[in-house]
A and B are shown apart, each in its own frame.
Chain A
Amino acid sequence: MSDSTQDSLHANDLLPLVWQTELEDYIIDLQWSADGDFLAAMPAEGSPVVFDPRGSVLGLLKSHEGGNGSLAWHPSKALLATLGQDSLLRIYRPPFDEPAWEVPLPGGAWAERCAWNADGGRLAALAGGSLIILDARRGEIIQQSPLGGTMTDLCWNPARLEELATAGPRGLHFWKADEVAPTGHFPRPTAQKLSWSPDGRWVAIGHLGPDAHLLDRRSGKPLHIQGYTSKVKAFAWESESRWLASAGGENIVIWPLDGPEGPRGAKPIQLSGHFDKIESLDFATGQTVLFSGGRDGLLLIWMPERSTNAGIILRRSDAITQVCFCPAEAELAYGTASGEVGLCASAEK
């Protein structure tokens, strides 16, 4: 296929819609299991649902009273964690009927984020003003750290089992799973969104305003990224950590990170195609193909190494809130503000 053909190709030819269904509410989280056998979708309210790749419902999970928070798949097993405003953390395993465990998180606060560490031995949760870390094998809380304010995001270092970061009104904190006090601090109080590079070197931080930081964990130096038109709501890493895609407003900015100093001095690739703010980004597994969903209802595909043109995968009448590429197959799941969940898959499969 020539480049020009590629550029003008209507992307529906690449990833046609295979199935779609409606859940009860705005899709706030959408994730594939590590082997790609299961897709979990979480609406803002109502039952989270586990699908198989053909769209069959495998499990209707318990909704969290007051509203759902987030979900997280174990990095290698079919274990799914959910939490929400009822301050309960639930772990499910196939056949996804009743929770295998249910852990009331201390403090009774809204629980909004959870994440497994790289080997699945630890599960961290943010509940109100506390970071809570569980020993995932025993289902026991091993650490609870008061954070002095409600945290907005957390992520584990994919390359170091015990290290994680949290973002909140007192800035960014780094933690070790077995230590109550933080091991590092980046005092920027408006951090809202975090994403750690697969190689563990970089932490991307989105703020309330139209700027971001990229922290180099190797040198300890922060790089300040400005020029977005709106707050950065989405990050996505290419699987080898060579590219960071970021979206703040209608445009995507891709930073090359393969130089010795990362993005310093490098020219970013800028991609324009959305008409409204971008809500979600994801790279195709092992490729430099990028997907984006926005408030304009467009689900777009980008091949930034070849062209800055976009292909349209889908148009919807409401915002595409989540895009998530399957780690095992050429399959792209999406969720919308009205609760639609669907799958676009390679016709060659």
Chain B
Amino acid sequence: MPALISPLQPIPVTILTGFLGAGKTTLLNQVLTTQYGSRIAVIENEFGEVGIDHELVIHADEEIFEMNNGCICCTVRGDLIRILGKLRRRRDRFDHVFIETTGLANPGPVLQTFFADDDLREDFQVRSVVTVVDAQHFLQDVRSLEEVGAQVAFADVILINKCDLSGAETQAQVEALLQVINPAAAFMRGSHSRVDIPALLNTRSFDLARLLRRDPGWLEEHQHDHEHDAGDDKKPLHDSSITSVGITSDGEMDGTRLITWLAGVVLAQGADLFRMKGVFALQGDPRKVVIQSVHHVFMNGEQAGEWGEQTRHCSVVFIGRNLDRQQLNADFQNCLV
């Protein structure tokens, strides 16, 4: 049936996360003071000194509730539903929404909120989860609090901040560990949260170019998690069981087998699966098929164009706890035709 009204473009959303003191508010201030032509609505949990009177800044209470009784991973933010519900009625007044989470928050419920509510799913598009990491303290923080690992696990973009306060060796260790936890994220380095703001805001929900890059072994090189040492004390770099499994192969997949497999993984392991991101070449389909999930929820499909002359291949990254690498690999291979 014909649509009488042209659908509006979804409003891009950036979710900003990071441990206490990592530099989230500094980054937020820079985003708001950088004149690059976008009007930004900010939803923040903490009362920071934003002080930008021409921007829309809203404070939120962190009201997390479960979508379904007994399923602890299916949590959403009731306050965000209300606030975003109001913002969607004022969409002519801003171009981008920025959500700053608390330093101790697991960003999962924030992310899932956009897929739990029909209106939000339709009117907003999560462009990226940006996680700010304090290069000086990350190795210490990630051992003590699981949320720090979760913030990295959920990230599409990781800003390694405060590089001026940390040595090259520490930075290398931090980046190595970040790659272990989340090899699919795009990485930026900076000090005082100074980064290329337009590039940061325009980074899509995950670094597709990175995932598609024909860089042999880029996934495999990070599969030896839990084997790194943190230097002198020889302890594991992080104590949580958050890890990643990346699999890539040339060739095509059977779409039905792929969907059946991924749906089964998400259904059975959704509680432990923070993110799943994949780009696939499906038999008979000229497009690059992008599939993402957050816990139990599949996210809206991202457009990635067609394969054209490129070598058709399939790549997927699972980020979560208690991942069975061997089984995932076997199931992946089973989907190939």
Contact = CB atoms under 8 A, between A and B. Distances in A.
A230 B118 contact: yes
A337 interface: yes
Interface in A68-127: 110, 112
B10 to A, nearest CB: 14
B86 interface: yes
Which of B1, B5, B82: most chain A Cβ within 10 A?
A: B5
Interface in B75-89: 76, 78-79, 81-82, 86, 89
A28 B78 contact: no
A208 B90 contact: no
- How many B residues touch the partner, as a band? 20 to 34
Interface string B60-95: 010101110100000010110110001001100000
Contact of B65 (A170, A296, A337): A170
A25 B5 contact: no
Given A230-B118, A295-B5, A296-B4, A169 B67 contact: no
Contacts of B82: 110, 112, 150, 152
Contacts of A231: 117-119
Interface in B1-58: 1-5
Contact of B67 (A25, A112, A208): A208
- Interface-central residue, B3, B65, B116, by most chain A CB under 10 Å: B65
B145 to A, nearest CB: 25
B69 A187 contact: yes
Contacts, number: 68
Interface in A275-323: 275-277, 295-298, 315, 317-319
Contacts of A318: 5
A36 interface: no
Interface in A305-349: 315, 317-319, 337
Contacts of B66: 189
Contacts of A168: 78
A89 B119 CA distance: 28
Contact of B69 (A149, A189, A315, A319): A189
Given A112-B82, A149-B65, A170-B65, A337 B89 contact: yes
Given A26-B89, A112-B82, A337-B89, A319 B67 contact: no
A150 B117 contact: no
A169 B5 contact: no
B4 A315 contact: yes
A189 B67 contact: yes
Given A150-B79, A208-B67, A276 B61 contact: no
Contacts of B81: 208
B115 to A, nearest CB: 11
B54 to A, nearest CB: 16
Nearest to B113: A208
Given A169-B65, A187-B69, A230-B118, A44 B3 contact: no
Scoring A28, A208, A317 by chain B CB atoms within 10 A of each residue's CB, the highest score goes to A208
Nearest to A189: B65
Interface string A1-33: 000000000000000000000000110100000
A208 B117 contact: yes
Interface residues of A, number: 36
A97 B65 CA distance: 42
Interface in B195-213: none
Given A150-B78, A210-B118, A44 B90 contact: yes
B4 A297 contact: yes
A25 B4 contact: no
A275 B2 contact: yes
Nearest to B82: A150
B47 to A, nearest CB: 14
Contacts of A209: 67, 116
A67 B88 CA distance: 13
Interface in B117-142: 117-119
B89 A44 contact: yes
A319 B78 CA distance: 25
B78 A149 contact: yes
Most chain A CB atoms below 10 A, which of B3, B67, B86, B116: B86
A248 to B, nearest CB: 9
Contacts of A241: none
A270 B65 CA distance: 33
A279 to B, nearest CB: 10
A315 B4 CA distance: 9
B297 to A, nearest CB: 12
A149 B63 contact: yes
A317 B8 CA distance: 12
B5 A319 contact: yes
Interface in A162-220: 168-170, 187, 189-190, 208-210
Interface of B: 1-5, 61, 63, 65-67, 69, 76, 78-79, 81-82, 86, 89-90, 116-119
Interface of A: 25-26, 28, 44-45, 67, 110, 112, 128-129, 149-150, 152, 168-170, 187, 189-190, 208-210, 230-231, 275-277, 295-298, 315, 317-319, 337
20 contacts: A26-B89, A44-B90, A45-B90, A112-B82, A150-B63, A169-B65, A169-B78, A189-B66, A208-B76, A208-B117, A210-B118, A231-B118, A275-B4, A276-B4, A276-B5, A277-B118, A296-B3, A296-B4, A297-B4, A319-B5
